[in-house]
Amino acid sequence: MTFDEILSTVDGKGNGLLPEGWGQGRALFGGLVGAVLFDHLQKSVAPGRVLRSFSLSFVAPAVPGPVSLTSEVFREGKSVMQAMVTARQEGQVVAAMLASMGAARESSVTVPAPNMPGMKAPQDSLVLPTIKGVTPDFLEFFDLRYAEGKPPYCGSDDANFTGYMGFREPPSTMSTAALIALVDTWPPSVLSMLKTPAPASSLTWTMELLNDPASRPADTLWRYQVHTDQCSDGYGQSQATIWDAEGKAVALSRQTFTVFA
Protein backbone atom coordinates (compact mmCIF):
# COMPACT_ATOMS: atom_id res chain seq x y z
CA MET A 1 0.00 0.00 0.00
CA THR A 2 1.17 3.53 -0.75
CA PHE A 3 1.26 6.27 1.87
CA ASP A 4 -1.90 7.89 0.49
CA GLU A 5 -3.73 4.54 0.43
CA ILE A 6 -2.87 3.88 4.07
CA LEU A 7 -4.26 7.23 5.23
CA SER A 8 -7.41 6.66 3.20
CA THR A 9 -8.23 3.43 5.09
CA VAL A 10 -9.20 5.46 8.17
CA ASP A 11 -12.90 6.31 8.12
CA GLY A 12 -14.76 9.12 9.83
CA LYS A 13 -15.17 7.05 13.00
CA GLY A 14 -11.44 6.45 13.30
CA ASN A 15 -11.43 2.84 12.15
CA GLY A 16 -8.52 2.02 9.87
CA LEU A 17 -6.08 -0.64 8.74
CA LEU A 18 -2.34 -0.67 9.33
CA PRO A 19 -0.62 -2.40 6.42
CA GLU A 20 1.76 -5.26 5.86
CA GLY A 21 5.12 -4.40 4.30
CA TRP A 22 5.84 -1.35 6.47
CA GLY A 23 7.53 -3.23 9.30
CA GLN A 24 10.45 -2.24 11.49
CA GLY A 25 11.46 -5.38 13.34
CA ARG A 26 8.48 -6.74 15.27
CA ALA A 27 6.60 -3.44 15.08
CA LEU A 28 5.18 -1.19 12.40
CA PHE A 29 7.33 1.76 11.30
CA GLY A 30 6.85 4.48 13.93
CA GLY A 31 6.82 7.35 11.44
CA LEU A 32 3.84 5.83 9.69
CA VAL A 33 2.04 5.38 13.01
CA GLY A 34 2.64 9.04 13.84
CA ALA A 35 1.47 10.15 10.40
CA VAL A 36 -1.75 8.12 10.69
CA LEU A 37 -2.47 9.54 14.13
CA PHE A 38 -1.90 13.16 13.12
CA ASP A 39 -3.83 12.84 9.86
CA HIS A 40 -6.88 11.57 11.75
CA LEU A 41 -6.53 14.22 14.46
CA GLN A 42 -6.40 17.00 11.89
CA LYS A 43 -9.31 15.69 9.84
CA SER A 44 -11.55 14.86 12.82
CA VAL A 45 -11.11 17.80 15.21
CA ALA A 46 -8.61 20.31 13.76
CA PRO A 47 -9.29 20.98 10.07
CA GLY A 48 -7.42 24.05 8.92
CA ARG A 49 -5.38 24.21 12.12
CA VAL A 50 -1.59 24.55 11.85
CA LEU A 51 0.51 22.12 13.87
CA ARG A 52 3.09 23.80 16.08
CA SER A 53 4.34 20.78 18.03
CA PHE A 54 3.50 17.22 18.97
CA SER A 55 4.74 14.70 21.50
CA LEU A 56 4.31 11.06 20.54
CA SER A 57 4.71 8.07 22.86
CA PHE A 58 5.11 4.58 21.41
CA VAL A 59 3.28 2.70 24.16
CA ALA A 60 3.34 -0.78 22.60
CA PRO A 61 4.38 -2.25 19.24
CA ALA A 62 1.80 -1.41 16.55
CA VAL A 63 1.25 -4.31 14.14
CA PRO A 64 -0.46 -4.78 10.77
CA GLY A 65 -4.22 -5.07 11.11
CA PRO A 66 -7.23 -3.07 12.31
CA VAL A 67 -6.63 0.06 14.34
CA SER A 68 -9.02 2.32 16.22
CA LEU A 69 -8.22 6.04 16.53
CA THR A 70 -9.81 8.44 19.01
CA SER A 71 -9.32 12.21 19.03
CA GLU A 72 -10.09 14.53 21.93
CA VAL A 73 -9.85 18.32 22.21
CA PHE A 74 -8.63 19.45 25.64
CA ARG A 75 -8.96 23.16 25.03
CA GLU A 76 -9.63 25.39 22.04
CA GLY A 77 -9.00 29.12 22.20
CA LYS A 78 -8.89 31.87 19.61
CA SER A 79 -5.34 31.00 18.54
CA VAL A 80 -4.31 27.74 20.19
CA MET A 81 -5.82 24.27 20.36
CA GLN A 82 -4.55 21.43 22.53
CA ALA A 83 -5.70 17.95 21.51
CA MET A 84 -4.79 14.30 21.80
CA VAL A 85 -5.22 11.26 19.58
CA THR A 86 -4.71 7.64 20.63
CA ALA A 87 -4.38 4.46 18.59
CA ARG A 88 -5.68 1.15 19.93
CA GLN A 89 -5.33 -2.41 18.70
CA GLU A 90 -7.33 -5.19 20.36
CA GLY A 91 -8.36 -2.70 23.04
CA GLN A 92 -4.78 -1.78 24.00
CA VAL A 93 -3.26 1.66 23.48
CA VAL A 94 -0.26 1.32 21.14
CA ALA A 95 0.47 5.03 20.59
CA ALA A 96 -0.64 8.41 21.92
CA MET A 97 0.02 11.87 20.47
CA LEU A 98 -0.47 15.22 22.22
CA ALA A 99 -0.61 18.00 19.64
CA SER A 100 -0.54 21.78 19.93
CA MET A 101 -2.06 23.73 17.06
CA GLY A 102 -1.66 27.48 16.74
CA ALA A 103 -2.69 30.22 14.34
CA ALA A 104 -0.07 32.75 13.20
CA ARG A 105 -0.20 36.23 14.72
CA GLU A 106 1.85 39.41 14.50
CA SER A 107 4.81 39.65 16.86
CA SER A 108 7.68 42.08 17.45
CA VAL A 109 10.00 39.20 18.37
CA THR A 110 11.95 37.45 15.61
CA VAL A 111 14.78 34.95 16.14
CA PRO A 112 16.13 33.27 13.00
CA ALA A 113 15.92 29.50 12.64
CA PRO A 114 19.12 27.41 12.33
CA ASN A 115 21.00 27.80 9.07
CA MET A 116 21.44 24.75 6.89
CA PRO A 117 25.01 23.37 6.98
CA GLY A 118 27.03 22.87 3.85
CA MET A 119 26.20 19.44 2.44
CA LYS A 120 27.23 17.25 -0.46
CA ALA A 121 24.78 17.29 -3.35
CA PRO A 122 22.18 14.51 -3.30
CA GLN A 123 23.79 12.79 -6.29
CA ASP A 124 27.12 12.71 -4.43
CA SER A 125 25.64 11.30 -1.22
CA LEU A 126 25.52 7.66 -0.11
CA VAL A 127 22.14 6.11 -0.91
CA LEU A 128 21.04 3.79 1.89
CA PRO A 129 20.38 0.43 0.18
CA THR A 130 17.41 -1.78 0.95
CA ILE A 131 18.31 -5.42 1.52
CA LYS A 132 15.51 -7.93 2.00
CA GLY A 133 15.74 -9.53 5.42
CA VAL A 134 18.44 -7.11 6.58
CA THR A 135 17.10 -3.56 6.39
CA PRO A 136 13.60 -2.72 7.73
CA ASP A 137 10.82 -3.43 5.22
CA PHE A 138 9.46 0.13 5.28
CA LEU A 139 12.67 1.56 3.82
CA GLU A 140 11.70 0.39 0.32
CA PHE A 141 9.18 3.27 0.28
CA PHE A 142 11.78 5.96 1.05
CA ASP A 143 14.90 7.53 -0.44
CA LEU A 144 17.56 8.11 2.24
CA ARG A 145 21.01 9.49 1.42
CA TYR A 146 23.90 10.10 3.81
CA ALA A 147 25.77 13.31 2.97
CA GLU A 148 28.07 13.28 6.02
CA GLY A 149 28.49 10.51 8.57
CA LYS A 150 27.91 6.78 8.24
CA PRO A 151 24.91 4.41 8.10
CA PRO A 152 24.20 1.91 10.89
CA TYR A 153 26.70 -0.77 11.89
CA CYS A 154 29.75 0.86 10.32
CA GLY A 155 31.72 1.19 13.56
CA SER A 156 31.88 4.97 13.29
CA ASP A 157 33.44 7.12 16.02
CA ASP A 158 30.74 9.75 15.49
CA ALA A 159 26.99 9.33 15.99
CA ASN A 160 26.09 12.55 14.16
CA PHE A 161 25.23 12.79 10.46
CA THR A 162 23.53 14.82 7.73
CA GLY A 163 21.51 13.58 4.79
CA TYR A 164 18.54 13.78 2.46
CA MET A 165 15.13 12.11 2.75
CA GLY A 166 12.18 11.72 0.41
CA PHE A 167 9.49 9.33 -0.81
CA ARG A 168 10.29 6.90 -3.61
CA GLU A 169 6.65 7.31 -4.66
CA PRO A 170 5.62 10.78 -3.46
CA PRO A 171 2.13 11.32 -2.03
CA SER A 172 -0.35 13.24 -4.14
CA THR A 173 0.39 16.39 -2.11
CA MET A 174 2.89 17.27 0.59
CA SER A 175 1.44 17.47 4.09
CA THR A 176 2.42 17.63 7.74
CA ALA A 177 1.53 13.92 8.04
CA ALA A 178 3.92 13.12 5.18
CA LEU A 179 6.75 15.06 6.83
CA ILE A 180 6.10 13.21 10.10
CA ALA A 181 6.59 9.93 8.27
CA LEU A 182 9.77 11.14 6.58
CA VAL A 183 11.52 12.46 9.68
CA ASP A 184 11.27 9.13 11.51
CA THR A 185 12.79 7.14 8.64
CA TRP A 186 16.29 7.71 10.02
CA PRO A 187 17.59 5.06 12.43
CA PRO A 188 18.65 6.03 15.96
CA SER A 189 21.84 8.01 15.45
CA VAL A 190 24.09 5.84 17.63
CA LEU A 191 23.57 2.75 15.45
CA SER A 192 26.34 4.03 13.17
CA MET A 193 28.76 3.39 16.05
CA LEU A 194 27.94 -0.31 16.24
CA LYS A 195 29.73 -2.93 14.16
CA THR A 196 26.95 -5.53 14.20
CA PRO A 197 23.13 -5.24 14.08
CA ALA A 198 21.28 -4.71 17.36
CA PRO A 199 17.64 -3.93 18.20
CA ALA A 200 16.75 -0.28 18.78
CA SER A 201 13.55 1.75 18.81
CA SER A 202 12.10 5.17 19.57
CA LEU A 203 10.57 5.59 23.02
CA THR A 204 9.26 9.15 22.76
CA TRP A 205 9.36 11.68 19.95
CA THR A 206 8.72 15.42 19.89
CA MET A 207 8.62 17.51 16.73
CA GLU A 208 8.10 21.26 16.38
CA LEU A 209 6.99 22.85 13.12
CA LEU A 210 8.58 26.15 12.12
CA ASN A 211 6.84 26.42 8.77
CA ASP A 212 4.01 24.66 6.94
CA PRO A 213 5.46 21.75 4.89
CA ALA A 214 2.33 21.62 2.74
CA SER A 215 3.63 24.53 0.65
CA ARG A 216 6.51 22.38 -0.66
CA PRO A 217 6.43 19.93 -3.58
CA ALA A 218 5.62 16.32 -2.67
CA ASP A 219 8.84 15.10 -4.31
CA THR A 220 11.09 17.35 -2.19
CA LEU A 221 14.36 15.87 -0.96
CA TRP A 222 14.41 17.27 2.56
CA ARG A 223 17.71 18.06 4.32
CA TYR A 224 18.34 16.50 7.73
CA GLN A 225 20.99 16.96 10.42
CA VAL A 226 21.06 15.04 13.72
CA HIS A 227 23.14 15.61 16.84
CA THR A 228 23.34 13.00 19.59
CA ASP A 229 23.16 14.57 23.05
CA GLN A 230 24.16 11.45 24.98
CA CYS A 231 23.64 7.70 25.24
CA SER A 232 24.08 5.49 28.32
CA ASP A 233 22.37 2.64 30.15
CA GLY A 234 20.65 1.59 26.92
CA TYR A 235 18.89 4.96 26.39
CA GLY A 236 19.91 7.89 24.23
CA GLN A 237 18.70 11.36 23.25
CA SER A 238 19.14 13.14 19.95
CA GLN A 239 17.95 16.33 18.28
CA ALA A 240 17.58 17.08 14.59
CA THR A 241 16.79 19.95 12.24
CA ILE A 242 14.94 19.60 8.93
CA TRP A 243 15.29 22.02 6.01
CA ASP A 244 13.47 22.18 2.68
CA ALA A 245 15.18 22.09 -0.73
CA GLU A 246 15.76 25.86 -0.58
CA GLY A 247 17.53 25.66 2.78
CA LYS A 248 14.67 27.02 4.93
CA ALA A 249 14.30 25.35 8.33
CA VAL A 250 10.88 23.71 8.60
CA ALA A 251 11.01 21.48 11.69
CA LEU A 252 12.93 20.56 14.84
CA SER A 253 12.85 16.98 16.07
CA ARG A 254 13.88 15.38 19.35
CA GLN A 255 13.84 11.70 20.33
CA THR A 256 14.55 9.44 23.27
CA PHE A 257 15.46 6.00 21.96
CA THR A 258 16.44 2.61 23.33
CA VAL A 259 19.30 0.50 22.04
CA PHE A 260 19.94 -3.09 23.09
CA ALA A 261 23.70 -3.26 22.64
What predicted TM-score, i.e. pTM, was given to this entire model?
A: 0.95
pLDDT at 170: 96
Could you read off the pLDDT tens digit of each residue along the chain, which spans 261 residues?
999 999 999 999 999 999 999 998 889 999 999 999 999 999 999 999 999 999 999 999 999 999 999 999 999 999 999 999 999 999 999 999 999 999 998 999 999 999 999 999 999 999 999 888 888 999 999 999 999 999 999 999 999 999 999 999 999 999 999 999 999 999 999 999 999 998 888 999 999 999 999 999 999 999 999 999 999 999 999 999 999 999 999 999 999 999 998
pLDDT at 133: 80
What is the C-alpha to C-alpha distance for residues 258 and 250, in angstroms, rounded to an integer? 26
What is the C-alpha to C-alpha distance for residues 100 and 74, in angstroms, rounded to an integer? 10
pLDDT at 85: 98
pLDDT at 261: 86
Angle at 43 between CA 177 and CA 66, to 5 degrees: 75
Assigned fold of 3-103+119-259 = Porin (2.40.160)
What is the C-alpha to C-alpha distance for residues 182 and 176, in angstroms, rounded to an integer? 10
| b/e per residue 98-113 (b: at least 16 CB within 10 A) | bbbbbeeeeeeeeeee
What is the C-alpha to C-alpha distance for residues 152 and 260, in angstroms, rounded to an integer? 14
pLDDT at 131: 85
